[in-house]
A = this chain, B = another copy of it.
Amino acid sequence: MPEFASDIEIARAARKKPIQEIGARLGIPPEHLLPYGHDKAKVGQEFIAGLKDRPDGHLVLVTAINPTPAGEGKTTTTVGLGDGLAALGKNVAICIREASLGPCFGMKGGAAGGGHAQVVPMEDMNLHFTGDFHAITSAHNLLAAMLDNHVYWGNALDIDVRRVALRRVMDMNDRALRGIVTSLGGVANGFPRESGFDITVASEVMAILCLATDLSDLERRLGDIIVAWRRDRTPVYARDLKAEGAMTVLLKDAMQPNLVQTLENTPAFVHGGPFANIAHGCNSVMATTTALKLADFVVTEAGFGADLGAEKFFDIKCRKAGLKPAAAVVVATVRALKMNGGVAKADLGAENVDAVRAGCANLERHLNNVGRFGVPAVVAINHFTGDTEAEIAAVTDHVSQLGAKAVVCRHWADGSSGITDLASEVVALAEAGSADFTPLYPDEMPLFEKIETVAKKIYHAGDVTADAKVLNQLKEWEAQGYGHLPVCMAKTQYSFTTDPNHRGAPEGHVVPVREVRLSAGAGFVVAICGDIMTMPGLPSVPSAESIRLNDAGEVEGLF
């Protein structure tokens, strides 16, 4: 191994154990593991159903400051912390999301962690993995085909084809499919209408798969999807098309959590991957609840920074699945704090203690926000080679003045031995039992007030604005019985405001709600506060151009 090996070199040198051995660490008998090759497996539904009376382990959320181009290493820290807890002798499982195939062919993509804190097999996880996203694509597009087919054969449900909510999906970055007209070519092909494709991770089916507690809950939620509206504005559901049964059949394997391992052979569930803007951005409830039955410590993460990721993890996933997190880790890097303190990316190399101090305002905000949910938190300083002692001291000092701890972690370079301090602190926090999780707002709060609550309490906004159209829409949904749903904020991940360039800890800004969408199957109302892209495009030189199999049969160019 060269001193500065790349992620892929480290991953290829991994001493993977057969997946049955990894399952055995969690007490899963081999007959309940459905292998996919020798290093991946799904955990059987029957085995999972049999666990329900067991006590739960401690749930630990890894979240982060606002992401910057400097990187914060949230997944790397999640994986490292899992290995660190295992090194302390704890029975541990990691829960992270699956990667989308689409972006891998655009920008170089998608390791699961980095350095000596990675989940393997890396190539598989960035390609088809166990086929879950393909199953979601099929289930979603079956529903879409059944909708157009229903209209074609006479439209007995009286669907207003101008008000079809459902688009189609593909796990590909393909801007040409964002806006299309379908059913061209004459009578045999149906009634032309405008539509389009989103990327699969943006599918409501993805969000549903990640929130469903079992196969019957999955089927019920799929039936609840609103596919269109009638002229009288009443909703048409997937169950009106009788689609939810076949969709469930398509998703029955995808609902089983995938088990893989870290470089240090710690069990890792990699399952589900909903968008962190128009959906809640967490791995599946199935994986998390299964892991909690099998391990004493479960380390998981949520998409983007704590303002979006942790808030949705708490207010949507934990609220709905009845999860009680025991502790949280807020990941920061000196480099990202410097950027939050006003330093440009090109100048990150130079020591700048003042900028680190200024950037700590962002960290402080996130730390306080996590505290609002009643979950004790520790700060992980994910160490980079160029960080100076003075810069690190600036962070630890700032955090200790807040009554919390900041721990330097070197898992990227050293694996579990570099993250023992953080692991010990997490054990202490969790075992102290001081957590008292409470969501930010109650179910019965009106929808717009929920949006305001998140914006004001978490983002520190001064005001929330919305057109009458948006406000009326929310009232209509409340009248239809959807008022109890949590809200899912779709906002830039780079700032507490809706301006991605506004770093640090801004206050008093205005959050405009442009549009609201009802995900009745997933069970949340999406509040769109900015431009949200649901189908990415490829760059001028996509990474696909350099991806190939080398003579040894290894994948080149994917990372």
Contact = CB atoms under 8 A, between A and B. Distances in A.
Contacts of A148: 174-176
A426 interface: no
A127 B172 contact: no
A424 interface: no
A355 B248 CA distance: 47
Interface of A: 31, 34-38, 45-46, 101, 105, 127-128, 131, 134-135, 137-138, 141-142, 144-146, 148-149, 152-154, 168, 170-185, 188-190, 194, 196, 215, 219, 241-243, 245-246, 248-250, 252-253, 537-538, 540, 542, 544-549, 553, 555, 557-558
A175 B153 contact: no
Given A176-B183, A185-B179, A145 B548 contact: no
How many copies of this protein are present in the complex? 2
A245 B557 contact: yes
11 contacts: A105-B146, A128-B135, A141-B172, A146-B544, A149-B176, A149-B542, A177-B182, A184-B194, A219-B549, A245-B546, A252-B549
- The 6 lowest CB-CB distance pairs between A and B, nearest first, are A245-B548, A179-B185, A179-B184, A134-B134, A148-B176, A145-B174
Contacts of A249: 127, 547-549, 555, 558
Nearest to A248: B549
Contacts of A101: 138
Contacts of A215: 549, 553
A130 to B, nearest CB: 8
Given A128-B138, A181-B184, 11 more contacts: A35-B35, A105-B146, A131-B134, A134-B137, A144-B176, A149-B538, A152-B537, A179-B183, A179-B189, A245-B544, A246-B545
A248 B101 CA distance: 14
B37 A37 contact: no
Contact of A180 (B152, B184, B537): B184
A206 to B, nearest CB: 15
Nearest to A170: B141
B185 A173 contact: no
A551 to B, nearest CB: 9
A245 B219 CA distance: 39
Contact of A547 (B185, B245, B553): B245
A248 B548 contact: yes
Contacts of A174: 141, 144-145, 148-149
A252 B36 CA distance: 15
